[in-house]
Structure formats: C-alpha cells, structure tokens
Homo-oligomer: A and B are copies of this chain.
C-alpha cells in the first residue's frame, strides 16, 4: 500500500499508535474502545490509525496476539523442559508470572475477557491438538499425585498467580487492601505459592 521511508520516524509514529492502542484496549476492552480514544491517547489524528492499520480490528488483533504471547508464551518452553523437576517448573512459572503481572496488572482482565470473543485461530500458540495433556509438566504432576486429575494443580498454580490481580481492584475499593500491602503480598507469593503447591502434591 505504501512503502516505508524513514524507518525512525515511521517506527516512532507506528509505535506511538501501538503503544496507545495497547493502553486503551487493555484498559477498556475491544468494544468499549473508540478509535478516537486511541488517536487521542497517541496525540495523533484519527486518520493515522487507518493509514497505518487498515482498521480497528486489525489493530486489535495485533495487540491481542502480543498479549496472548505475553500471557501464555513463556510457559510453553518451561512446561516441556525435560531437565527440570516439577518443583523447579512451579518455581519458574510462579516467579515469572508474578513479575509479569506486577508490571502488567491489567493483563488478566484483558486477556481473559477478550479470549472468549476471539476466533479460534488464537490457538495458533498451541500447534498440536492437546499438547498440554501430553506435556512433561502434566506427566510429572501425574506421577506425583497419581489419584488426581493433574489439571487440578495446574489450575491452582495459575489461579493463585493470576487471581489476586483480578480481585485486587475489588479489594482495594472495599478498603481491605492498599496498593503497598498488595505489592508486598505479591512478592511474598513468589515463594509462598511453590510451597503451597508442593504441600498439595505431597498430601495427595
């Protein structure tokens, strides 16, 4: 459609738009976001959006793919690493997730509320069919706790990492937690969650 001329300027403007889109989409969700919001947030005219990206939905898809990658991406290699124990995997996933979420507290809201509307191809991340069930991580859990469906523990692990960030706005509004206390707790959870998972698995 148009050739890129000055990579720097181009990148700058394009990146400004993407940055603004990230921000607004993540905060308000797809439907509630107006292209004008994004333009304003980026300090640019509306037409730029449609100049750089063909449409609102194209722009969204790009952000969405990026966020999905952030949210699920790093987990896959960890999960299929044959050289680490369950416990090491749990520790890795926990600390990585807690750090990611502390930097992007809106991420869970966004990913989880948009995921349902997202067409099936968002599953591109997961090349094979039910690769998850066959993953080393799940197999390792199955060995540790043979009587139970291993997904119980995967759900618990992810839930204990992610759910606090979902509940946080509620708890803050209710005056139950302040921002500082919350941050402190999230740091604590980096070591607490692996310990909790461990005792769950041993208890059997």
Point out residues on A near B: beta carbons under 8 Å: 28-32, 109, 112-113, 115-117, 120, 123, 126, 129-133, 148-149, 151-152, 155-156, 158-160, 162-164, 166-167, 169-171, 173-177, 181, 184-185, 188-189, 192, 195-196, 199-200, 203
Contacts of A199 in B (CB 8 A): 199-200, 203
CA distance A117 to B29 in the complex (A): 11
Minimum Cβ distance to chain B for residue A161 (Å): 9
A32 and B177 contact, Cβ closer than 8 Å, known pairs A109-B112, A152-B189: no
Can you add 11 more A-B contacts, CB < 8 Å, to A28-B117, A151-B176? Answer: A29-B29, A32-B32, A116-B169, A131-B174, A133-B175, A148-B192, A152-B188, A158-B167, A159-B162, A160-B160, A163-B163
CA distance A188 to B164 in the complex (A): 23
